[in-house]
Amino acid sequence: MPIDLTPDGTRGARIPGRLLRAVNRPMMAIYRLLRGRGIRMVGQPLLILTTTGAKSGRQHSVPLIWFADGEDRWLIVASRGGAAQHPAWYVNMAKHPDQIWIQVGGRRVRVQAESLRGAERTAAWQRITATAGNYAEYQTKTDREIPVVRLRPAELVGVES
């Protein structure tokens, strides 16, 4: 199943886009410089997600916390800090599901994304919030169900040693 673009909420945290960009740009530069080695946020590893803009058609990259979901499978959370709207990268994945890449360490991988639903989402959400409680806090700020997304390799795009 692909990305399930559910409706935005009616309430949530206000996260200025300028603030996100100001934090994300230097973080991605450091990540790429160090090839992800030792780069963590709230104790969790990061990856860089690249999507194609739903409106612009241009590539956009963001650093995201990820959670292991088996070998070569990653879970990411479309929380946007508990905002009422989904993050732009989530909308981009729904609009261009064949144009999603991640960089994990030195690997760049084209991935397929799927929204988790039902019991599978609930189990993943429990694992995530047990490890990173900030996500449970984000859920209290908004009335939208925060999506959990599984990423799986579509094909290997490039490997750096």
Domain positions in the chain: 17-159
User: How many CB atoms sit inside 10 A of residue 77's CB?
Assistant: 24
pLDDT at 161: 38
pLDDT at 155: 66
CA-CA distance, 97 to 86, in Å (whole number)? 16
Cα distance between the two ends of the chain: 33
Task: Give the strand pairing for 59-65 and 44-52.
Answer: antiparallel
Residue 3's pLDDT band (cuts 50, 70, 90): very high
Average pLDDT over residues 76-89: 95
Name the average pLDDT for the chain. Answer: 89
pLDDT at 96: 96
Angle subtended by helix axes 118-131 and 134-141, to nearest 10: 120
Tokens of residue 116, six digits: 């988790």
Domain 17-159: assigned CATH number = 2.30.110.10
pLDDT at 114: 96
pLDDT at 78: 97
List the beta strands (DSSP E) in 58-133.
Answer: 59-65, 67-68, 74-77, 100-104, 107-115
Per-residue pLDDT tens for 26-59? 877 877 877 777 777 777 899 999 999 999 999 9
Above pLDDT 90, what percent of the chain? 70
Per-residue pLDDT tens for 94-149? 999 999 999 998 899 999 999 999 999 999 999 999 999 999 999 999 999 999 99
Report field, pTM of the whole predicted structure over 0.75:
yes
The larger pLDDT score, comparing residue 88 to residue 25, is at: 88
pLDDT at 159: 46
Asked if residue 12 has pLDDT above 50, the reply is yes
